[in-house]
Amino acid sequence: MTNTANATPHVLVVEDDVLIQMLLDAVFEDAGFRVTTASSGPEAMTKIEKAQVSFDALVTDIRLGPTVSGWDVAWKAREFSPTIPVIYITGDSELAWQENGVPESYLYPKPFKTDELVAKTWDLLQH
């Protein structure tokens, strides 16, 4: 994990709804993050596997299409960075979180408050 006291934290945002993705990109950039986005599970997996710089946090939707879910993306991110903070955002997968989510992850149901999401991300990076 990057030392966030001396560097701009880098968050990977994975969201297939373009409007939500644009909102999250703007909100995190305004809060001082460097943001990389992915519109699908396979795209996120590729970005994680090929990242020249590791991500400091992952914010992912769960339902990303038929092949790769947000659950899969989070597990892949944890392979490369076992302590990366993971925050799931979802409209309908809350009940599956305990069974499918990575340990010590967080879930925000849609609709969520962007300021709370950003504050939680900052908080996780400080620990």
What are the beta bridge partners of residue 86? 58
Q: Taking the model in full, what pTM does it have? A: 0.91
The string of pLDDT tens digits covering residues 53-105 is: 689 999 999 999 899 999 999 999 999 999 999 999 988 877 788 889 999 99
All domains of the chain in start order, with CATH: 10-126 (3.40.50.2300)
Report DSSP state, residue 94.
G
- CA angle (18 as vertex; 126, 78 as ends), nearest 5: 40
